[in-house]
Structure 1
């Protein structure tokens, strides 16, 4: 049985139908990625599932006692709370039950036998059952365990956390409830690459049913077992991850295009027939006329695929061959070196991605390259004839009270792009803004629509250097793909900061990555190439360290016979423990292999489509292996320490 089912749901915002007789279900253990255009109604659907909103019409059914937790894009906390208290807030109901139970127990002790005593006893039994069901007796331990799971210090103040760590706290507050269904709206917002990988591993191992909204294609590929697309009011389901969805969606759109062309051709023929002269009217069929009327209605009601954004960047004059040259550049804030002796040359036409954890200094390095910030040491030589368009600066300067038209072209009704004049209404139409919205204030736009407006403003200005700081936030997937195409074909220089791994892979030709301690290094290729090179370098360093470790004892330590080692071990371990220690490496290897095999099946996602119960069993087994591995590793460490 499904955890949650919606049948024939209808939801309208003004004259736009967000849900048009839509059907949806969520099975136990499956991970559903919800995608669709900005403004299509994804967040509204998520809130309906979370019971924070209701559809205008339709049937909603839930499993009895189903618990769901909703984590919004921007979680809210009291900045003065400790992280422990903020996470424990997820167990407010359980703690309230426990407080009431304690109060009833004390009251019962002071109440003589009689009707009131019996009523209190009955209430205590009811509360005890509820506490057992909610596993609320050890709520403090649950909070501490969850904090350890997500890597947070419970004593820290929430206000001192970065955006990424606050996102972790919000997830911890949800996970501590141990919900049947977890609902996430843009869970990767504010997370850096390590945070995103951590979240992927966490969600893949969860037993709960998962429904999440994201535009991160790599995240969808790794986590989703099913893709649900909200398209023109309908919910379309595609088994598998995002790559599988792309293939099937392309096939579906082609079939839809052919069917629409056939329909339109037949409608045109019928319109010609009805307009013929007297002879045709004498022989016209009542049934044929009725069919024509129905066809006209069907054509009027057809919701065509929404057009794509038309992106075209205003090309400035060519910059000099060298955009920037940095030699032994160092920048410090207090005692901390954000950039330490960095040397690089940025050439015209380079497309460079900047990679590093939050707070590593990506923005500082960008400003050094552009000459907006002076280094403490070293030299920066800026190239000639630079026309820089800076996405982040424009975002900060966005006036929420201004209209869309005034934001794009203040005091004029025309925009000039690549030497050609275009009316501002037409230009806004290229970015999917209807003419009637051109006079609307910016504050009326959604987050994704604001980013689209910012791109429109950015590309209306001639530039030969584009600096894009997190341009992909809140953009829907079709717009992301078009932005990728534009940047790939762009003749100028692109400096890009993004946590979208697929976007980096598709756009940049090299990356400058933080190595820690203010050290930065340039790698050829995109995000995946950097990851491969970095992992290879780490492995080589580990291998060298192991070799050095093997050689050192030979030189420094006196040789010890095998018999002597066995005698030492025999003294400290029983025969049974010795056998256990010898068997543990093999057991750990088998558990890791089993978990890897299960992980591959879960990531593929087809198991949920074929057999939902088997999918749920594998998800449960994946989590069990985590616990078994932890116990085995702890036991191995304990026995090894005793024989040292």
Structure 2
């Protein structure tokens, strides 16, 4: 459909979510096409990079009003914040004047003169003034759940459908707290890989081992079957009556309110919800499971930008593993620290950093005339050297790096302080252990805490070694 529209000569293009179901290569092509398009383009999209690169004016519909911004998406965010601040300032001024006028009226003033009548009329206008309506936001927070040493291990996994090879002898050990982004052309097997990790599809050969403490939450690309007659609140209660958050346990109803489901909506049948609301409800259900591994297959489809933004904040504070298939480049840049690129022939190539880091590598390779052997990088075999088989090694299968990614640069700047803080925590725990030598219950808690903090320190120390090795190569130390 999109190709047919673009092949004709139109003066105006109306595009409704044009990047949905396009792979990232096609999205980049569409960006370049629209940037050079001579006519008018009006589109609805939640792809923030696409908005940034293609648009020069944003129209926002909010609470029955339309606001215009002569800017791309990044500028829109700044201008919207300025508009809301101006509205808030005007409202504060209105409330202040209203208080003074009410005090004047309470003193028993009568509308005997023209001036007094005008003042009373102004008071009525102030009382009838509309308070600015602020956008509601989804509120989320993550809860740390225990994760043992063994996470998710793929050993010599192969999968194909007929002649179509999805994976060819792929091995990888997912690290604790790792964020993996999976990209590739449509039909290359991204969703199949996710389903194999989730246990919904069996590999043809090899095996996938899941640690005993691992609990997976899977947000699938396909629309989930929901009973249209079931009430919204009952859908959540079937998962959990109460959900644990950093603030303690909250009810299913309270969680629904945080996800912008009003009390009326909570007791309505699911069939009354829009497609986006059903998608948001499904997301709520996945997060309510308190999993320590989250799998997202095209999470951005049918989620609005505010929900995506809050989800990104949630995932950045999430202490578990995140694996996501996405063509939302903004989402990938904000969330992941390693990119898996599937080539559609069974091979996976790995890139450190987010989507922008991946794109920079591809651009350098495209511009380079030097021959590079891509065979070694295109396969994800486990290291054969036993010294490299440690699942916590950040060098595992990593391509040669010439610079820090943005996230690594920030981590490098703070990691010494992080290590010092963990060492200080361990010393304090040791002092508490000595002080509670006769309290067996307290000792058990302290030893468990010490083990947990020590594991964090060990991981930080290994990370420090890795980052400093890179820093030496690029001359940062």
2:277 aligned residue = 449
Pairing 1:338–2:163 present: no
Structure 1 residue 282: Cα displacement = 9.3
Pairing 1:322–2:150 present: yes
> Structure 1's 453 and 370: CA in aligned 2 closer, same or farther, altered over 3 A?
closer
Pairing 1:259–2:90 present: yes
2:265 equivalent among 437, 443, 451: 437
1:530-541 superposed matches below 5 A: 530-540=358-368
1:308 aligned residue = 137
> Structure 1's 460 and 445: CA in aligned 2 closer, same or farther, altered over 3 A?
same
> Structure 1's 323 and 305: CA in aligned 2 closer, same or farther, altered over 3 A?
same
1:417 equivalent among 218, 239, 244: 244
Post-superposition CA distance 1:545-568 (Å, at most 9, x none): 9xxxxxxxxxxxxxxxxxxxxxxx
Post-superposition CA distance 1:344-400 (Å, at most 9, x none): 110121111111111111122223334444433334332221111111189423222
8 Å CA contact 1:339–1:518 kept in 2: the answer is yes
2:125 aligned residue = 294
Structure 1 residue 260: Cα displacement = 1.6
1:529 aligned residue = 357
Give the 3-state SS of the residue equivalent to 1:523 in structure 2.
strand
Give the 3-state SS of the residue equivalent to 2:135 in structure 1.
coil
Give the 3-state SS of the residue equivalent to 1:543 in structure 2.
coil
> Structure 1's 411 and 323: CA in aligned 2 closer, same or farther, altered over 3 A?
closer
> Structure 1's 479 and 272: CA in aligned 2 closer, same or farther, altered over 3 A?
farther
1:348 equivalent among 173, 176, 187: 176
> Structure 1's 403 and 370: CA in aligned 2 closer, same or farther, altered over 3 A?
closer
8 Å CA contact 1:417–1:461 kept in 2: the answer is no
8 Å CA contact 1:394–1:454 kept in 2: the answer is no
Q: Which is helix-richer, 1 or 2?
A: 1
Structure 1 residue 187: Cα displacement = 0.8
2:10 aligned residue = 179
> Structure 1's 411 and 488: CA in aligned 2 closer, same or farther, altered over 3 A?
closer
1:496 aligned residue = 324
Larger radius of gyration: 1
> Structure 1's 209 and 511: CA in aligned 2 closer, same or farther, altered over 3 A?
same
**Structure 2, unpaired ranges of 5+:** 373-477
Pairing 1:518–2:346 present: yes
**Bigger Cα displacement from structure 2, 348-357 vs 434-443:** 434-443
Post-superposition CA distance 1:85-143 (Å, at most 9, x none): xxxxxxxxxxxxxxxxxxxxxxxxxxxxxxxxxxxxxxxxxxxxxxxxxxxxxxxxxxx
8 Å CA contact 1:371–1:382 kept in 2: the answer is no
1:481 aligned residue = 309
Task: Find the aligned partners of 1:290 and 1:509 in 2 and give their Cα distance.
Answer: 61
2:43 equivalent among 212, 226, 236: 212
Give the 3-state SS of the residue equivalent to 1:312 in structure 2.
coil
1:600-611 superposed matches below 5 A: none
Question: TM-score, structure 2 length as denominator?
Answer: 0.71
**Structure 1, unpaired ranges of 5+:** 1-169, 546-644
1:467 aligned residue = 295
Question: TM-score, structure 1 length as denominator?
Answer: 0.54
8 Å CA contact 2:216–2:295 kept in 1: the answer is yes
Give the 3-state SS of the residue equivalent to 2:38 in structure 1.
coil
Task: Find the aligned partners of 1:494 and 1:242 in 2 and give their Cα distance.
Answer: 26
Post-superposition CA distance 1:429-472 (Å, at most 9, x none): 21122212212222222222222222222222221111111111
